[in-house]
Amino acid sequence: MAKHTYGLIGHPVKHSLSPAMQNAAFHALGIDAEYLLYDVEPEKLENFLKNATANNISGLNVTIPHKIQAKTYIERKGTLDENAARLGAVNTIKIAEDGTLCGYNTDGPGFYRSLVEDLGFEPEGKNIFVLGAGGAARACIMYLGNGPKRIFVSDIDKTKTDDLKAHYKKYYDERRLTVVGEGDFKDRLKECELLVNATPVGLKESDPSPIDASLLHHGLYVYDLVYNRPATELVRKANSLKLHAMTGLGMLLCQGAIAFEIWTGAKAPVAVMRKALKEALK
Ligand code: NAP
């Protein structure tokens, strides 16, 4: 058995790319650790976390459907970092030898790091359009906070955008976040320097672009959070218009690298992790 065990808890978890990325990182740095997948049903989550130390687990990633329940549990039994508390969701847990749990969320920081370092886009003072208002959009927007000049958000489900706006305004200047309906979509996007696709449109090879290519204006940067293929239709369309565009593989990598750094205290071997991710995707 490895000295330290890490892993992903979710339901389901079997298609995760995280083991390839994290195990490659442990191997590259000579750390005696392994990263496993744990399919845990929601009603068994608390028990799993309670027994984590007894099972030699030093750290976890948390995915759907456990991110909010894990936050609630750690709020009672451990400590939450500021970003996870503000977002209301945990995707990374560090477990001390005495069993103390500390909850983090690396989705927003991972998105931010990839946006700046991979896409070359600095969001501060810019106008940003986010398509989709689910968990991923929320993580990105709550991390961007008051940095951008304005954030526009649109979702086919209006309850999601309304919830997001209500949450955002508890922490930030609500005038910066505008919910956009279909009617003014085109005009609002025209004002923006960055488009983020935070919908699942693009996950399937046959998916169209979630927005018409005629709406992609000159100079727009495009970040598609979908990461399971080298290019989505949105990214292909943007590239054909010579726009800076990328898929979410960089975000996946960066959120994993930040989690690795939280667990081990070592600098993540990002190039090794990127290579492992790309190979696992094939
Ligand atoms: P989610 O909670 O299901 O949220 C997506 C939202 O988009 C839903 O409210 C959905 O509405 C809405 N939507 C669907 N089609 C739309 C359209 N054409 N126009 C506007 N809104 C639309 O999903 P999520 O967990 O936030 O994930 C979103 C995407 O981000 C997924 O592709 C996921 O793989 C990706 N992601 C990437 C990373 C990364 O590291 N790169 C991390 C997390 C998530 P309905 O529910 O009504 O369909």
Domain boundaries, the chain: 4-105+253-281, 108-249
pLDDT at 169 over 90: yes
Residue nearest to atom 36 of ligand 1 (CA): 225
Residue from 269, 267, 255 nearest 83 by CA: 255
CATH topology of domain 108-249: Rossmann fold (3.40.50)
Instruction: List pLDDT tens digits, range 194-230.
Output: 999 999 999 999 999 999 999 999 999 999 999 999 9
Residue 99: CB within 6 Å of ligand 1?
Answer: no
Instruction: List pLDDT tens digits, range 16-54.
Output: 999 999 999 999 999 999 999 999 999 999 999 999 988
Instruction: List pLDDT tens digits, range 109-125.
Output: 999 999 999 999 999 99
Contact (Cβ atoms closer than 8 angstroms) between residue 172 and residue 145: yes
- Please report, for residues 161, 220, 255, the alpha-carbon distance to residue 191 in angstroms, rounded to integers and kept in the order given: 20, 10, 29
Residue 226: CB within 6 Å of ligand 1?
Answer: yes
Between CA 171 and CA 268 the distance in angstroms is: 31
Q: What are phi and psi of 228, to 5 degrees?
A: -85, 10
pLDDT at 233 over 90: yes
Q: What homologous superfamily does CATH list for 4-105+253-281?
A: Leucine Dehydrogenase, chain A, domain 1 (3.40.50.10860)
Instruction: List pLDDT tens digits, range 53-78.
Output: 888 999 999 999 999 999 999 999 99
Atom of ligand 1 nearest to the CA of 157: 47
Contact (Cβ atoms closer than 8 angstroms) between residue 144 and residue 115: no
Residue 134: CB within 6 Å of ligand 1?
Answer: yes
The sign of the dihedral angle between the CA atoms of 84, 125, 188, 111 is negative
- Please report, for residues 130, 163, 195, 234, the alpha-carbon distance to residue 247 in angstroms, rounded to integers and kept in the order given: 14, 26, 12, 9
Choose one of 155, 209, 254 to mutate for the ligand 1 pocket test, by most ligand atoms within 8 angstroms of C-beta.
Answer: 155
Which residue type is seen at 153? V
Residue 113: CB within 6 Å of ligand 1?
Answer: no
Atom of ligand 1 nearest to the CA of 136: 26
- Asked whether this chain's domains 4-105+253-281 and 108-249 adopt the same fold, the reply is yes
Question: Which are the catalytic amino acids?
Answer: 67
pLDDT band at 3 (very low <50, low <70, confident <90, very high): confident
Contacting residues for 102 by C-beta, under 8 A, at least 6 apart:
74, 78, 79, 80, 81, 93, 94, 95, 96
Range 149-170 average pLDDT: 97
Residue 224: CB within 6 Å of ligand 1?
Answer: no
Average pLDDT, the chain: 96
Residue 109 tokens read as 């920081």
pLDDT at 182 over 90: no
pLDDT at 2 over 80: no
